[in-house]
A = this chain, B = another copy of it.
Amino acid sequence: MSQNQSNIVWQHGRVTRDKREALFNQRGATLWFTGLSGAGKSTLAFLLEHLLVERGYKAYVLDGDNVRHGLNANLGFSAVDREENIRRVGEVARLFADASMLALASFISPFARDRALVRELHEAADLPFVEIFVDTPLAVCEERDPKQLYARARRGEIADFTGISSPYEAPEKPELTVTTDREPLACAEQVLDYLHRRGIIRL
């Protein structure tokens, strides 16, 4: 079939964002979950992924499991490598959002500067960046301690452990703050309400 036999009008270049978002029935966006280890970030991110997919939305969780063993397998835990870890995740989230996906990124990301850089690269591309502070007190996280990481950090077996021997810089102006003293589903619905109000999804 030659091009003049086709009724497809093709302009060399990208599919427009408007067209893609109309097809997906959602705006591309990054939801960035930040908080202490054990705060409940991944629980919330995976629950939201389920709720969104149930409703026909396209969402995908980026987290340590699918990033640290792959894209960032060549990074360690030095200060420089942690910064690069967040930078790369931020860039990948931006690619997902540019593809009109909802990227749900769940990383401790303790440093305000690193999160600000990820925000900036989204805003420069006119893509929504939704910072969600999972605000669980250190004492609660330490009591949960599912992987016994806090116990090990207290014994000095883990260096630079966020909240114990390395700072967590809480967001000053997050788009959302969730407190996991409530049911996970209530927290998830708080996020869904926000996405709806902002026109990212239509519910």
The bracket for how many chain A residues form the interface is: 35 or more
Query: Which residues of B sit under 8 angstroms from A189, Cβ to Cβ?
Result: 1
Query: Which residues of B sit under 8 angstroms from A54, Cβ to Cβ?
Result: 8
User: Closest CB of chain B to A58's CB: distance in Å?
Assistant: 7
Q: Mark A11-53, 1 if CB is under 8 A from B, else 0.
A: 0111100011001100000000000000000010011011101
Q: Is the CB of A95 within 8 A of B61?
A: no
Query: Which residues of B sit under 8 angstroms from A58, Cβ to Cβ?
Result: 23-24, 58, 99
A71 on interface, CB distance cutoff 8 Å: yes
Q: Which of B12, B67, B92 contacts A43 (CB 8 A)?
A: B12
Name which residue of chain B comes closest to A6, CB basis. B185
Q: Is the CB of A99 within 8 A of B60?
A: yes
Name which residue of chain B comes closest to A89, CB basis. B71
Binding site for B on A (CB under 8 A): 1-3, 6, 8, 10, 12-15, 19-20, 23-24, 43, 46-47, 49-51, 53-54, 56, 58, 60-62, 66-67, 70-71, 74, 84, 88, 91-92, 94-96, 98-99, 101, 121, 183-186, 189
